Structure 1
Amino acid sequence: MAGQADFKLPLMISAALHLGVIGALALNVDFSHKPSHTTVAVSAAKAPPVQAVVVDQQKVQDYVQKLKADKAEADRKERARQAELERQADAAKKAREQEQARIEKLAAERKQQELEAKQAASAAKAAQLKARQEKEKAQKAEAERKLKEQQRQQAEEAARKAQEKRKAEEAAAQKAEAERKAREDAERKAKAAAERKARAEAERRRQEQELAAAMAAEQSAVSAARNKQLQSELDRYKAMIASTIQRNLVLDEAMRGKSCKVGIKLAPDGFVTSVQTSGGDPVVCRAAKAAINKAGRLPVSSEADVYQLLKDINLVVRPEFN
């Protein structure tokens, strides 16, 4: 539409110029002069006015041709200008599309980089968490190993002390036996002396009564020593059993400071035939029962009288924490 408006103005100007030229030519003709016959004859012979009109018409045609050429050139230039404008518009559109594509590509790359960064951060965080968990696990395992080693050393120390105590008690029993034999020898000597000296029957009875009393006292002492020895052995095996339970006990912080009463029945080879809990913290009771069943067998003495004291034993389990 703008191109058509631009062409109308030159056409109007061209039409006006045509009309003006034609009017000027018309004005150049002298209509008021009355030529003489001679003039008419000359004019008729030379015909200059007609020639002037023809020359002016040629100029008009030349001018019209020039106007047409100018119009054609203007049309060509306008088409070239329109083509250039379209080319520029297409180039600008392509540039905008390329820029939009570049921006979208950059945005996609930025999102991908952010996603990769998040994934890398998540992976690093997971690796740190795993390393911390493994470190805590190793620390816990080392703590458990140290605890077990300490418990083993304590059990060995308790067993050593119990062994030393047992040996001391055996030595005391042997000494008592020697003294008893010495007393018996003295009795025999006393009897022989009594027979040799023909002491009275009353004196002999008195000596026999005294001897009987001494033997009863000695027997009582021997019995007390044996009972003491049995108690020592019982305490030693109780300590070993408690140590075995502690080694197999799975500790939980909720068990700290709590305990459970446990009744255990043992076969002669130490096999656990029955486990009963009779009171205490439920968590500790469950853990103690699981530890005993896990052990399967507990330490028992090969001595029959000691086993009789161990076959149906009651213990109080108290979880030991570092």
Structure 2
Amino acid sequence: MADNTSFTIPLTISAGLHLGVIVILALGIDFSEKPEPTPQASAPAVQAVIVDQQKVAEQVERLKQQKLASERKEQERQAELERKAQQAKKAREREQEQIKRLETERKLKEVETQKANAAAKAAQLKEQQEKEKAQQAEAVRKQKEQERQAAEAAAKKAAEKRKAEEAAAAKAAAERKQKEEAERKRKAEAEARAQQEREMAEALAAEQAALSQTRNRQVLSEVSKYKAMIMATIQRNLLIDESMRGKSCRVFIRLAHDGFVTASQTLDGDPVVCRAAKAAINKAGRLPVSSDANVYSQLKEINLTVSPEFN
């Protein structure tokens, strides 16, 4: 029981000392003075207390050194802040001087600007007055120019109108003359065509008369013979009815060397007979033709009068 008490006391003292060190460090108490002697305990307890005191002293010393280092750092920080504050102060002073200098320069420039503005305003006023005079003179010139142009435009318009009227009259006269010439030419061509047709009709009548005279003798020239053969071929392929009786159609036929019909055209005559004749020629396709070159030269392009034959 006594041993337990002897160990409990030193432990209690050690715990108290640690707690005290923490409080002292928190409060910043200086341990430079030696602690007052404490009542001695038993030998083992005293030995334990001595050991703990040494550890505490070492801990306290470390804490003191840390505190001193922290204080030095704080002093250095404060010194750095002071140095920066001085620099900022000097910078502000230089800035104020710069502001004063710039303000002085600004005022001088403002005075110069005012003088320049006044001079510019006077020059502008003079320029404006001269410009107004020039504008007035230009307005007068433009007015006269507009009047001149209007007069020229009116004269030009009148001349163009007169020229257009003359051109229209000349064109109308030319068109009238052209129409008259075309009509005269048309009539002349019609008369020439009618004369040619009359002559062809007379020749055909004479040919038919000659053929009639020679038919009994049955002597036909080659041309007449092939014309008769061509007409016979057309008559064989001709579709007729009573409405065609006594009517005829003149046709033009172009033949190849072998008698192939390369072209056919109705010239004049009864429309019904002409359509039937054209159909008969196309139906035949190939007509009799002589192999003799001289005969063929008279047969390659021929005009025939087709008259439907009724039995």
Question: Do both share a fold (TM > 0.5)?
Answer: no
> Which structure is higher in RCO with an 8 Å CA cutoff and minimum separation 6?
1
The structure with the larger Rg is 2
* TM-score, normalization by structure 1: 0.29
* TM-score, normalization by structure 2: 0.30
